[in-house]
Structure 1
Amino acid sequence: MSLTEDERLNLLYEASILDTPPTTEFDAIVRLACNIFNMPMALVSFVDEQRQWFKAQQGFTLKEASREHSFCGHVVETGLPLVVEDAGKDSRFWENTFVNECSVQFYAGVPLLEGETCYGSFCVLDTKTRRFGDRDLEQLRNLASVVVGLIREHRQQSQLKEQQRELELKQARFEQTERSAKVGGFEMDLSTGTIIWSDQIYRTVGLPVGKRMTSEEVIGCYAPEERDGVRRRIRGLLNGSEIGVDKEYRIITPEGEERWIRVVSDIEHLHGEPKRLFGIVQDVSEKVRYEQRLLQAANADPLTGLANRAAYNAHMERLTATDAASIGLLLVDVDRLKQVNDILGHATGDLLLKGVASRLDERLGKRGKVFRLGGDEFSVVLDAPANARVMRSLARHLIEYIGRPLEVAGSTINPTITVGGAISEGEMDAATLSQNADFALYHAKETRRGSYVQYEPSLRSRIAHRIQIVREVELALTEHRMVPHYQPIVSCADGQVWAFEALVRMQRPDGSVVSAAQFHEAFTDSSVSHHITTCMLDHVATDICKWMDRGLSFGRVGINVSASDFMRGDLESRIVGAFASRGIPLDKLVLEVTETVFLQGLEDTVATTLQRLRKRGLAVALDDFGTGYASLTHLRSLPVDIIKIDKSFIDTMLVDESSLAIVELVLNLARKLDMKVTAEGVESHRQAMCLLEMGCTTLQGYLFNKPMDREHVGSYLSASKPHCTEISGESRTGLLLFG
């Protein structure tokens, strides 16, 4: 059943978003929309009874406009997307403010829907007519879902502020009530032990008014943990060793209700001897519960219910201050949370975090305490003294348990976590222990995501070295010192160059050239890796264009790509942009992908991207085959044209039967799957002869040539002349090697 207009307006007003100041998040989404659709104008428009008010706008100076004849009003009234490709021809909007005052000709808007509630419209506009297809409309809907998430977050924040105001108001009312409240009085004859209570005290402790009370019955009103202290106090009062008190106690009523009382007492002396204890009892349960709620709010994460960063800091300070032995700390990072948020929405991301938090807490049990530090990061502090073996075992157990499929908002997600751990040593403070665990987590995320890394002192220097390498590569990219070198791949059929592999090299300021192996740490930085690929695509496209102009026959050129290239979703457009702008067909390109790319939880994304590129003529090579964890699975499910056998197997196949067996297995498998095979790292004639006899398709290695710069590729192609090599005294047709 759809909402009435009055119900819709009430829900809009309850969101408390109308006439609020601009925010960076809403402003960013309209700028993003303009960039995506190449439009000059975009709006987040909320429609009330008389007007449309703009929470965020790009390309406009208006803050609001009349609802009458408005595009956004039409979207709200119908609850459907609206595309007006030429407003000048649409009589519905001839009197529209945007059309008349801002020269708007094009409009595309989708409703901002949360359930059945339509708050307004998210739209893009242009001063010229244009087309807007189904894919464009779907992108606009996706952006609108982000806007709805921002509205939901704004409403939640407003509600939290309102609740805080309510708590403050309740506290003020409580304090007023406390000042005017009647409290119960009591007295105790210290010579006889006789106790007298007022009616209010009986009501406070939940006993019948007027019941005669003995000392033990009074003690029985208190909570179990309070009783020994009260008993000692009464004995001290009777023998004259105790004085008055002002203290709060927990009590339990006969019905089992928990309450707190404040006892204020003094002693009356007669002739220098204690005669009578007297005082008041005040029920302070509401105050204590309020303080507990505030404490919980200050120390609990509102999403997961776990203790938060403030509680974590206090807990760690307490542990280290007491010189606790061998404190074990695990820092846990939820992998790919941003992807879940971007693809499935922040609500699903929140449910994923709650699921991970629940599993962490459940599986840890009484062995320690779990905290949510914020975002995608949790910490686990062990109660018992820790050692490296226990930490490693627990971390692996948590990784395995949390990695089980999780049903979230109708989707099945396989959560993965990365864990870094550290153990306190000597008088180590909380900050140092946390920093050590953070170093371990950082190293795990950069090198072994989805696994556990234990802190060791060398990590500091390794991370510092990695940071230095990343900075060097960033500078080299800025100064255009990242260049390709090309290594030939020869065909076993005729000995001719079948392809080249483009390998990235860094030119240092002094002119020396270093291979990727010397700056491989930089590839763990997704931004740097992304920029390296962009740089290589541009260089390779330029070089291929020159070779084609010279009429050189070079076959194809292989380019290596990483997981970060697929994560951003723009790899296809970058490749097409670099090569199409130079008129180069994609059948000149081989995309080399290692198995590790498929082990990042991106298998579907990678497969879809590669399949689209293959339809354009590009070939796909599975690089370093055999060194991953699921090679055969990948061959079955992924679009692969070429298998490249890793150099480690070629190095040892002449002396290690297992390596030789793996090479034979790959070659046999490739024949049945109709795939080409390239053997990497061929450095001797014996290796080449053996591979040729087994039917290898192509060879690559120092036997034929080391990677060369672009200037030497032309001369190499001109100089390369195959000649026949005999095997066992016999000339074998089709077995050709470069000399």
Structure 2
Amino acid sequence: MSRGLTDMFEAPFSQFLAAGAKDTRGLARAGDAAERMRALAEYAILDTPTEPAFDAIVELAAQICGTKMSAISLVCDDRQWIKAGHGLSLSETPIEHSVCAHTIRGAGLFVVPDASQHPLFRDHPLVRGGGLLRFYAGVPILSRDGVPLGALCVVDDAARPQGLDAVQAHTLTVLGKQVEAQLELRRAILVQEARIERERRLSRKLDHAANHDGLTGLCNRSQLIRAFEQCVGAPLDYAHPPALVLIDVDNLKRVNDGFGHAAGDLVLTELANRLRETLGPDALAARIGGDEFAVMLRQCPSIVEAAEIAGTLLHAANLPFLHEGRNLNCRISLGYAAAQDADDFATLHRKADQALASAKAAGRGCARAFSSALARAYDSERDMLEQARAALAEGRILPFYQPKVDLETGQLVGHEALLRVVTREGDITLPGTIAAAFEDRELAIALTDRMIESVLCDLSDARARGIDVGHVAINTTSFDFATGDFADRLLARLALRGIAPSMIEVEVTETVALGSGRDHVRHALVELAEAGVRVSLDDFGTGYASLTNVKQLPISALKIDRSFVSGLGSETDDSIVAAMSMLGTRMGLQIVAEGIETAEHVAILRRLGVRYGQGFYFSRAVSSTHLTELAAISASGRWAEHAPLSPQ
């Protein structure tokens, strides 16, 4: 068209509405522009590209109404933006030029049959000068909440005194509703897309949480296993098998107890950061437990390369951790293993864990590699633990008794209860067959508990049969005292069976009495001694005990280790035994020699002042069924005339 409304909506239109700009601006803001802008934002439609659905509506509106131009315009706070236009080239106009701002003031069809006759526009120069805009008809477009957003309008440069006929007016109204329907469809799609995006974000968060450690952000065990399976499941992508490094933070509990859990968390997060900084892209770090980390090397050409990486990690992690201006020296131990062809993750983890256990046993703060020797040691330890559990469950842990004799009179003064394991075939085996069980806290306590119960049962039976067995010594471990209630439990058992505390002797080694748990041990021994239970220090002279240490414990007897007794006859060993005997006796302690095997041993020990002894010369450890026989031999006072009893 020649200089139609398209031209007028550009530069000339500001002149066209100059006279009515004030009124138009007021109309645009009468419906609360802020509320309209919030409603428009729900549809996210402003400044979007053209859409066929809206373009079709304006084209149909112009055709039905017989106008040269039509538009869907949205009224903003400072402009009128045209979403779809027919016969128009502009996309927006300033708000003061908006004719549609008048339309949204009403609730229905707004018609200007002849702008030259309209009170707002009749004096306008463009209307008087040529009537570029003569006819306008529009219907408001409302949001779902009834907020006016804009208008669907038709425009022409010729006046139409008759306006729109009924069909045209109804059609324009219906098409306006179609615009609203399209807007609602758009909003529904946006809501759905937003919901899907929220669900995607939530899914990503949940996936991250399910596969990562919350504190450090490292992968967790599940993700580590999946990464391993990916490596072994795609051998063509990896030239070498993976390797696994297990890391344990040494003394983290001490940091938590001494400086608070915030300090412990700092150590863990800082260690995670150091792992990230140290490792290359072909390695995956994970936190798999409270103070346990793991690193999977997706490709490991040799155990030598794994050793180099372990050394690098060890150096990085063992640097001090700074917390509130204070250095926390919290070191790590590492164990590593390379996967073999048939290894699954559990097998590889077991190998690395064996290596880690070796590093801890070596003093911590170091790295160890898995080896076949470690595997054999681990298998042996596992077998011992299984044997111990089975023997406990099946009642095959029994006390065997070795007599303790007065070397001057030849009289029986007591026994030492020695643990024996009865096999399912009935054979008697020594504690060495389950040695690993004594290093396991749970099993060690259970074994001592079983021994005490069996000894008390045998003592009750011997007393009922009138057999004088003297006192019985029971060996203990550091784990027994760590619970803090060992003395109370033992004394309660004695009271329950009516057994005098003096009939029981508790034996502790130097390692137990003077080790890291010495306070628990001392408190328990004091309580027992005050109740009348005897206390003896076993294997004296082989550890780091001194007579000063001995004085601090309520000990009634010292047991000289068999290693000194076996060397009797040599000047050195005789002197050592004589010194221990003299000092112990002056302190009021009984001196007991272990491992006596010959009459010559007895003679030398008597000459050196040792009053009591035990060993094969008198008898091997025997079952409770031989207690009567031992008592009879003691009554004769002639141990040397009897062959030592066998343990059967």
* 8 Å contact kept, 2:559–2:594: yes
Within a 5 Å distance, the mapping from 1:663-702 to structure 2 comes to 663=577, 666-667=580-581, 670-671=584-585, 673-702=587-616
Aligned twin of 2:629: 715
Deviation (angstroms), 1:427: 9.5
Distance in 2 of aligned mates of 1:364 and 1:696: 65
Deviation (angstroms), 1:340: 11
Distance in 2 of aligned mates of 1:414 and 1:673: 43
Aligned twin of 1:329: 245
Partner of 1:708: helix, strand, or coil?
Answer: coil
The residue type equivalent to 2:621 in the other structure is P
Q: Does 1:614 align with 2:529?
A: yes
Distance in 1 of aligned mates of 2:544 and 2:279: 32
Partner of 2:506: helix, strand, or coil?
Answer: strand
Change (3 A) 1:479 1:605: same
TM-score, normalization by structure 1: 0.47
Partner of 1:487: helix, strand, or coil?
Answer: strand
Q: Does 1:580 align with 2:495?
A: yes
The residue type equivalent to 1:716 in the other structure is L
Deviation (angstroms), 1:710: 1.2
Partner of 1:480: helix, strand, or coil?
Answer: coil
* 8 Å contact kept, 2:408–2:606: no
* 8 Å contact kept, 2:402–2:622: yes
Change (3 A) 1:431 1:602: same
Change (3 A) 1:426 1:646: farther
Distance in 2 of aligned mates of 1:364 and 1:491: 68
Within a 5 Å distance, the mapping from 1:367-516 to structure 2 comes to 371-379=286-294, 387=304, 420-423=335-338, 432-441=347-356, 454-516=369-431
Deviation (angstroms), 1:456: 2.2
Distance in 1 of aligned mates of 2:348 and 2:437: 27
* 8 Å contact kept, 1:335–1:415: yes
Within a 5 Å distance, the mapping from 1:233-382 to structure 2 comes to 301-303=213-215, 308-309=220-221, 312-313=224-225, 322-323=238-239, 327=243, 329-332=245-248, 352=264, 355=267, 366=278, 371-379=286-294
* 8 Å contact kept, 2:266–2:323: no
Which protein, 1 or 2, shows the higher relative CO under an 8 Å CA cutoff with sep ≥ 6?
2
Within a 5 Å distance, the mapping from 1:56-95 to structure 2 comes to none
Distance in 2 of aligned mates of 1:545 and 1:671: 32
Partner of 1:374: helix, strand, or coil?
Answer: coil
Q: Does 1:590 align with 2:505?
A: yes
* 8 Å contact kept, 1:361–1:370: no
Deviation (angstroms), 1:512: 2.6
Aligned CA-pair RMSD: 5.5
* 8 Å contact kept, 1:537–1:578: no
Task: Identify the structure with the greater strand proportion.
Answer: 1
Q: Answer with 296-305 or 589-598: which moved more.
A: 296-305
Give aligned pairs, total: 442
Distance in 2 of aligned mates of 1:454 and 1:599: 33
The residue type equivalent to 2:469 in the other structure is F
Higher gyration radius (CA): 2
Aligned twin of 1:643: 558
The residue type equivalent to 1:309 in the other structure is R
* 8 Å contact kept, 2:419–2:431: yes
Change (3 A) 1:563 1:439: same
Deviations 1:28-68 (A, max 9, x none): xxxxxxxxxxxxxxxxxxxxxxxxxxxxxxxxxxxxxxxxx
* 8 Å contact kept, 1:396–1:451: no
* 8 Å contact kept, 1:323–1:427: no
Aligned twin of 2:126: none
* 8 Å contact kept, 2:249–2:330: no
Distance in 2 of aligned mates of 1:406 and 1:671: 54
The residue type equivalent to 1:702 in the other structure is F
- Among 450, 458, 479, which residue is 1:543 paired with? 458
Change (3 A) 1:425 1:492: same
Change (3 A) 1:713 1:456: same
Deviation (angstroms), 1:491: 2.8
Deviations 1:184-235 (A, max 9, x none): xxxxxxxxxxxxxxxxxxxxxxxxxxxxxxxxxxxxxxxxxxxxxxxxxxxx
Deviations 1:240-261 (A, max 9, x none): xxxxxxxxxxxxxxxxxxxxxx
Change (3 A) 1:304 1:600: farther
Change (3 A) 1:547 1:455: same
The residue type equivalent to 1:476 in the other structure is A
Distance in 2 of aligned mates of 1:543 and 1:456: 46
Q: Does 1:624 align with 2:539?
A: yes
TM-score, normalization by structure 2: 0.53
Change (3 A) 1:366 1:397: closer
Distance in 1 of aligned mates of 2:477 and 2:274: 36
Give percent identity, aligned residues only: 29
Deviation (angstroms), 1:585: 1.8
Deviations 1:116-149 (A, max 9, x none): xxxxxxxxxxxxxxxxxxxxxxxxxxxxxxxxxx
* 8 Å contact kept, 1:485–1:505: yes
Deviation (angstroms), 1:487: 0.4
Deviation (angstroms), 1:719: 1.6
The residue type equivalent to 1:644 in the other structure is K
Deviation (angstroms), 1:707: 0.5
* 8 Å contact kept, 2:437–2:444: yes
Aligned twin of 2:481: 566
* 8 Å contact kept, 1:331–1:441: yes
Distance in 1 of aligned mates of 2:43 and 2:592: 85
Aligned twin of 1:704: 618
Distance in 2 of aligned mates of 1:407 and 1:558: 50
Change (3 A) 1:719 1:333: farther
Deviation (angstroms), 1:642: 2.8
Q: Answer with 632-641 or 292-301: which moved more.
A: 292-301
Partner of 2:519: helix, strand, or coil?
Answer: helix
Deviations 1:246-293 (A, max 9, x none): xxxxxxxxxxxxxxxxxxxxxxxxxxxxxxxxxxxxxxxxxxx99999
Deviation (angstroms), 1:519: 2.7
